[in-house]
Amino acid sequence: MNNLTLKQLRYFVALARYRHFGRAAEACAVSQPALSVQIKDLEADLGTALVERTSREVHLTPIGETFSERAREILRAVDDIGDLARASEGPLRGQLRLGMIPTIAPYLLPETLKVLGKNYPMLEVLPRETVTEILLNDLKEHRLDAAIVALPVSEVQLEEVPLFEEEFILIRHQQDAGKTVPDPGQLLKMRLLLLEEGHCFRDQALSFCSVDGVKARDVMEGSSLSTLVRMVGAGLGVTLIPEMATRFELGTENVSMARFAAPAPSRVIGLVWRKSNPLTVQLQHLAEILRVTDCGRRVADLRM
């Protein structure tokens, strides 16, 4: 037991998460044999098997399941100690693991990195782009320090600070430019293009299009906002995109944009982090900086 190391704990927690030696090794940035050796050494130190290995799958033994939970608790405590040290140094420095959802990252991340580089020269940002559910879980599991998502997230253990609000914009074929903007009831009768399930923007768009509990019919799915806009340009239907995306996605596509009548559908973009994070003061300051990013100003300009 005296030989137990944090490296072993991190490797085992990764294996418990991915249930695959190759993916766990990739997540830990080591070779698969190196990770396997550390797991075997960990089992030898503990004197018990933590993993049941088969030709295709990895299963944790009952003691392995219990040990993985304890290992996560230890690693979270170690991470908190590191955050305490960083918090005592003043401005953010070192690594900041920052998550963003896919309907924000392509448009806000470049400006965010530019602003952070200017205000925190000693800070290294490690961005992660994925859907809200995964980001929130990564926050709670201490795999992320903060995330930029659509609010509210309504998680008791997470702090959420609004950055700015943006409307949803109707994108339709160029030949429909100038036509009356459909209301939610009329959208129900159109071929609506939406993101795949798992994206919060899809749920928000469907919520706007719902009338007395009736959901939009004939919905087609795309993997990204860019895909949706190109599908509209090909005459396959209409879609909604957040206004921050309009400057980037419309380009030369054969589409037009239109605003909905008030009250227009919209979303609030905010920064979230664990309430227990010792870097709370620094992250609050970070939120103030992000409120005046170039992308945030452009969203405000688009409404004028």
| 7-24 pLDDT per residue, tens | 888 888 888 888 888 888
pLDDT for 55: 65
**142 in the same domain as 100:** yes
**240 in the same domain as 214:** yes
| 238-242 and 192-195 strand pairing | parallel
**228 in the same domain as 200:** yes
Compute the distance between CA of residue 164 and CA of residue 227 in angstroms, rounded to an integer: 25
Mean pLDDT of 44-69: 85
- Tokens standing for 25? 């090794």
Question: How sure is the predictor about 161, in pLDDT bands with cuts at 50, 70 and 90?
Answer: very high
Task: Answer whether residue 200 is part of any domain.
Answer: yes
Mean pLDDT of 250-273: 88
**254 in the same domain as 204:** yes
Q: Which of 37, 57, 85 is the last residue of a domain?
A: 85
Task: Answer whether residue 124 is part of any domain.
Answer: yes
The more confident residue out of 53 and 293 is 53
**235 in the same domain as 296:** no
Range of the domain at 43: 6-85
Question: How sure is the predictor about 293, in pLDDT bands with cuts at 50, 70 and 90?
Answer: low
The more confident residue out of 151 and 250 is 151
pLDDT for 304: 41
**208 in the same domain as 143:** no
**92 in the same domain as 145:** yes
Residue 164 pairs with which residues in a beta bridge? 269
Mean pLDDT of 151-175: 92
Q: Which of 85, 113, 137 is the last residue of a domain?
A: 85
Q: Which of 62, 85, 108 is the last residue of a domain?
A: 85
Task: Answer whether residue 176 is part of any domain.
Answer: yes
The more confident residue out of 215 and 270 is 270
Mean pLDDT of 125-143: 91
pLDDT for 69: 87
Task: Please give the tally of structural domains in the chain.
Answer: 3
Residue 161 Cα distances to 9, 96, 139, 142, 275, angstroms:
33, 17, 15, 19, 12
Q: Is the pLDDT of residue 130 over 90?
A: yes
3-state helix, strand, coil in the chain (%, to 5): 45, 25, 30
58-92 per-position pLDDT tens digit: 888 888 888 888 888 888 777 777 666 666 566 77
pTM of the model: 0.74
Task: Answer whether residue 106 is part of any domain.
Answer: yes
Mean pLDDT of 236-264: 87
**33 in the same domain as 10:** yes
CATH number for the domain that contains residue 47:
1.10.10.10
**78 in the same domain as 18:** yes
The beta strand positions in the chain, using DSSP E, are 51-53, 58-60, 94-100, 123-129, 146-151, 158-173, 192-195, 220-222, 238-242, 255-258, 266-274
- Tokens standing for 262? 């008030």
Compute the distance between CA of residue 45 and CA of residue 48 in angstroms, rounded to an integer: 8
Q: Is the pLDDT of residue 302 over 50?
A: no
Mean pLDDT in the chain? 84
**149 in the same domain as 169:** no
Q: Is the pLDDT of residue 295 over 70?
A: no
**105 in the same domain as 241:** no
Task: Answer whether residue 1 is part of any domain.
Answer: no
Task: Answer whether residue 262 is part of any domain.
Answer: yes
pLDDT for 10: 86
**256 in the same domain as 183:** yes
173-226 per-position pLDDT tens digit: 999 888 899 888 787 778 888 888 778 888 888 788 775 554 555 567 888 999
pLDDT for 90: 63
pLDDT for 87: 60
Q: Is the pLDDT of residue 158 over 90?
A: yes
Task: Answer whether residue 33 is part of any domain.
Answer: yes
CATH number for the domain that contains residue 106:
3.40.190.10
- Tokens standing for 139? 């926050």
